[in-house]
Amino acid sequence: MKQTILVLEQHILEQQRAHPCASGEFSWLLSAITLATRVISAHVRRAGLVDILGETGATNVQGEMVQKLDVIANDTIATCLGYRDNVGIMVSEEDDEPRILKEPDDRAKYIVLFDPLDGSSNIDVNVSIGTIFSILQRRDDAGAGKVMDHILQPGYRQIAAGYVIYSSSTVMAYTTGYGVHMFTLDPSIGAFRLVREHVTMPTSGKTYSVNEAYSRQFPKGIQDYLDWVKTDKAGGYGLRYIGSLVADFHRTLLHGGVFLYPPTLKAPKGKLRLLYEANPLAFIAEQAGGSATDGKQRILDKIPTSLHERTSLIIGSKDEVERVLSFWRA
């Protein structure tokens, strides 16, 4: 039997044909991201063999220790995107300031925001890590020279978002607002091959994912939910927490359940970053039939006020997110 091989670039082109609003330029931009993630994946696969494990000794703008792979991933994405003349601004979790590649009067209309390496604390111990990206378009109504007006847009304005997980295999999931599609990197040909189109998240699921060590710092309603899942009435929940958002989200997307990173005493606004973590994953979750909230409002409706803004995040199966909220609001 002849097997069809559909690779990511081809898939993007076909999406473009089905949705003529997607331009060829956009495909060109996405291909820079896939190229970068293939390079990062190759580094990750050789991590123990070359000197790329461990900390650099520097601290980033988030106050976190920078790992060597954080730097490699950040540089790789910046280099690959830098060659695409339609990318105007790049914003990375690892950079203090946005990188302005082209001035607004150029045709460089896209803004790419990314977490180059998610799950840094898991790098050295061979646990899944990832890359997350979000794509916006420059606003027509922003004032000249007002870079932040272009960047600080709510998540519902994203035109694409995705992530790559470097795990037992390297998988990419992306959306442009027409469903979520998933690809596996085939190392023998160096291409992401389509494995699932229109991925849907189960509407419910009895897996909760949270760093429960912080539970005493969580709001009372979240503590009540965490007590409830352990009761007989709840009917047998399981806990899974990897500590790499991409990996915890990927499992939740495929198997259902809920991921929570509520506010804590240490991080009263939550720990995760709105622009490079919560927004892109919220877009994917919604496109797959799930939902994402900060406890008060839909993540995608939040108006960002600063580049490295943090947020609390409850994301996953629609019914389970709703259940968490019912405890939190009570």
Which residues contact ligand AHG (rule: CB under 6 A)?
64, 93, 115, 118-120, 211, 243-245, 271
Cα-Cα end-to-end distance for the chain: 57
- The entry of ligand AHG, Mn ion, none near residue 243 (CB within 5 to 8 angstroms by kind) is ligand AHG
Displacement of CA 200 from its chain's centroid (Å) = 17
Mark 139-159 as b/e (b = at least 16 C-beta within 10 Å).
beebeeeebeebbbbbbeebb
302 binds, among ligand AHG, Mn ion, none (CB under 5 to 8 A by kind): none
- Closer of 55 and 64 to ligand AHG (Cβ): 64
Q: Which entry of ligand AHG, Mn ion, none binds 294, CB below 5 to 8 A by partner kind?
A: none
Q: Which is nearer to ligand AHG, 15 or 134 (CB)?
A: 134
Q: What DSSP designation does 7 have?
A: B
Query: Among candidates 193, 148, 301, which has minimal Cα distance to 293?
Result: 301
Shortest Å distance, C-beta 66 to ligand AHG:
10
Shortest Cβ 211–ligand AHG spacing (Å): 3
Pairing of strands 310-311, 272-273: antiparallel
Work out whether 118 is an interface residue with Mn ion (CB under 5 A): yes
Total binding residues toward Mn ion, as defined by CB under 5 A: 4
Shortest distance, position 114 Cβ to ligand AHG, whole Å:
10
Q: Determine if 248 is a binding residue for Mn ion (CB under 5 A).
A: no
Quick check: 320 binds Mn ion (CB under 5 A)? no
Distance CA 38, CA 28 (A): 16
Nearer to Mn ion, 12 or 282 (CB): 282
To ligand AHG, the closest distance from the beta carbon of 275 in angstroms equals: 12
CB nearer to ligand AHG: pick between 16 and 211: 211
Separation between Cα atoms, residue 143 and residue 212, nearest integer Å: 45
Q: For Mn ion, which is the closer residue by CB, 66 or 226?
A: 66
Three-class DSSP category at 217: helix
What 8-state DSSP symbol labels residue 180?
A: E
The HSE-up count of residue 83 (CA atoms within 13 Å, CB side) is 12
Interaction with Mn ion in 84-113: which residues (CB under 5 A)?
93
Give dist(CA 179, CA 280) in Å, integer: 13
Q: Which is nearer to ligand AHG, 108 or 281 (CB)?
A: 281
Residue 264 binds which one of ligand AHG, Mn ion, none, with CB within 5 to 8 A depending on kind? none
Integer Cα distance of 182 and 194 in angstroms: 6
Q: State the amino acid at position 282 in one-letter form.
A: A
CB of 51 to ligand AHG, least distance (A): 20
- Residue 57 CB, shortest distance to ligand AHG, in Å, is 17
> Which residues, listed in sequence order, are joined to residue 92 by a DSSP beta bridge?
114
Query: What is the chain's length?
Result: 330
* One of 113, 115, 174, 279 touching Mn ion (CB under 5 A): 115
Whether the CB-CB separation of 134 and 147 falls below 8 Å is answered with: no
Q: Cβ of residue 240: shortest distance to Mn ion, in angstroms? A: 18
The smaller minimum CB distance to ligand AHG, of residues 150 and 310, is found at 310
Mapping DSSP onto H, E and C, the string for 29-41 reads HHHHHHHHHHHHH
When CB distances are held under 5 to 8 angstroms depending on the partner's kind, the choice from Mn ion, ligand AHG, none that residue 177 binds is none
Work out how close the CB of 54 gets to ligand AHG at its nearest, in angstroms, rounded to a whole number. 14
Query: Rounded to an integer, what distance in angstroms lies between the CA atom of residue 272 and that of residue 86?
Result: 29
Residue closer to Mn ion (CB basis): 117 or 313: 117
Residues that bind Mn ion (CB under 5 A): 93, 115, 117-118
